[in-house]
């Protein structure tokens, strides 16, 4: 376990062991706690899967030293994989839909990776397809494919979840997290349900996203500004297991934006839109538990703040809702 109290050999040793901090806009009877993932070296939750997936893939021989990792990514996964790839002797190439934040793309390049853009209107599906084509063209190349690779959820089962349970002495009533690939939520939910089968699990998506179709709903599809979570094509979200989820909560961009601003001005958290959405949903679960509408095995709700607002300043994240480009 990383202690941060002694010299470490590599930046990879600083992945994980992030702080768990009380969200004060939650009831005292059922407090919300957020895992602050911007404390990772690449400043997001995705450093965990970058390190975990590449280490396991090297161990298994899926890729050899000097090989190339190619990943379709909205950005944070690219940064997480790029940090790990260089330290583990691998090359990295990322396929990123154009609309995603320029800061992230610059950071991937700075970490020694190659960045290839695909058209925004082809979405994540277009990026996934292009990554596969590139992998076919190169020798010793793999696509970890965070959307379908069980190692993604396993990284959170092995690290994020045990850290949370240790911090709260096992007293976790609900797990609430935004779903992009759903790796974060699935890893935490699986671990939590093994500890306590009654743990309440809430998946979070932006309004306009289609995760609710997993629950048999027919949500209206629309564009959204919240970055890093949601889906326009649920067939790509292979890790999402509806059996592990009690509720899929859609949060409007405007509410996520109000909340990320409140978290900064009132609670000192410089977090981005997916954290805003997760916080809205987590506080809501806590309020409902406090008023007896939802039953939790313990009086606490845990969520994840995946990254920092500094990554989105060029998109006007702290401007008015209308001026925020998303």
Residue 237 found at the interface with ligand PMP (CB under 6 A): no
Q: Is 274 a catalytic residue?
A: yes
In the complex, least distance from residue 231 CB atom to ligand PMP, rounded to whole angstroms: 10
User: Distance (Å, rounded) from C-alpha 226 to C-alpha 325?
Assistant: 10
Please report, to the nearest 10 degrees, the dihedral formed by the alpha carbons of residues 245, 246, 251, 257 taken in order.
-70
In the complex, least distance from residue 136 CB atom to ligand PMP, rounded to whole angstroms: 25
Catalytic residue selected from 44, 101, 209, 274: 274
Q: Is 279 a catalytic residue?
A: no
Member of 142, 307, 308, 326 binding ligand PMP (CB under 6 A): 307
Q: Closest by alpha carbon to 20, among 191, 165, 152, 156? A: 165
Residue 229 found at the interface with ligand PMP (CB under 6 A): yes
Please, which residue, 67 or 72, has the CB nearer to ligand PMP? Answer: 72
Catalytic residue selected from 35, 46, 225, 315: 46
In the complex, least distance from residue 66 CB atom to ligand PMP, rounded to whole angstroms: 28
Quick one: 126 exposed, middle or buried, by C-beta within 10 A (0-12, 13-18, 19+)? middle
Q: Under rule CB under 6 A, which residues in 273-292 are in contact with ligand PMP?
A: 274
Residue 270 found at the interface with ligand PMP (CB under 6 A): no
The residues, ordered by sequence, that sit 6+ positions from 31 with a Cβ below 8 Å of its Cβ are 22, 23, 286, 299, 300, 301
In the complex, least distance from residue 74 CB atom to ligand PMP, rounded to whole angstroms: 5
Q: Closest by alpha carbon to 282, among 20, 33, 29, 19? A: 33
Strand pairing of 32-36 and 68-72? Answer: unpaired
Member of 173, 183, 208, 230 binding ligand PMP (CB under 6 A): 183
Tokens of residue 69, six digits? 């990792």
Stretches 79-87, 206-214, 223-231, 255-263: which one binds ligand PMP (CB under 6 A)? 223-231
Residue 67 found at the interface with ligand PMP (CB under 6 A): no
Q: Which residue has the tokens 């076919």?
A: 136
Strand pairing of 32-36 and 20-23? Answer: antiparallel
Which residues are catalytically annotated?
Answer: 46, 274
Task: Summarize as ranges the residues that interact with ligand PMP (CB under 6 A).
Answer: 74, 76, 178-184, 227-229, 272, 274, 306-307
């Amino acid at each position: 376990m990383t202690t941060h109290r002694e010299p470490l050999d590599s930046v990879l040793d600083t992945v994980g062991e992030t702080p768990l901090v009380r969200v004060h806009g939650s009831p005292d009877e059922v407090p919300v706690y957020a895992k602050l993932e911007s404390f990772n070296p690449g400043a997001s939750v995705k450093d965990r899967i970058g390190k975990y997936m590449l280490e396991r893939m090297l161990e298994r021989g899926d890729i050899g030293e000097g090989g190339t990792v190619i990943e379709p990514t909205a950005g944070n996964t690219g940064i997480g994989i790029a940090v790990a790839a260089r330290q583990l002797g691998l090359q990295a190439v990322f396929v990123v839909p154009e609309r995603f934040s320029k800061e992230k793309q610059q950071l991937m390049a700075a970490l020694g990776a190659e960045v290839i853009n695909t058209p925004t209107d082809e979405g994540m599906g277009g990026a996934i397809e292009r990554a596969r084509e590139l992998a076919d063209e190169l020798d010793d190349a793999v696509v970890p494919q965070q959307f379908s690779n069980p190692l993604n959820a396993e990284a959170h089962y092995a690290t994020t979840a045990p850290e949370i349970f240790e911090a709260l002495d096992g007293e976790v009533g609900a797990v609430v997290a935004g779903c992009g690939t759903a790796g974060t939520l699935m890893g935490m939910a699986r671990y939590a349900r093994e500890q306590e089968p009654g743990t309440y699990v809430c998946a979070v998506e932006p309004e306009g996203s289609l995760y609710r179709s997993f629950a048999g709903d027919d949500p209206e599809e629309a564009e959204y500004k919240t970055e890093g979570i949601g889906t326009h094509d649920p067939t790509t979200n292979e890790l999402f297991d509806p059996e592990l989820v009690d509720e899929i909560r859609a949060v409007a961009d405007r509410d996520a934006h109000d909340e990320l601003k409140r978290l900064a001005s009132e609670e000192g958290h410089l977090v981005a839109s997916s954290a805003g959405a997760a916080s809205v949903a987590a506080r809501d679960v806590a309020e409902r538990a406090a008023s007896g509408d939802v039953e939790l095995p313990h009086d606490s709700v845990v969520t994840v703040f995946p990254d920092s607002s500094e990554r989105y300043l060029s998109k006007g994240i702290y401007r008015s809702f209308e001026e925020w480009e998303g």
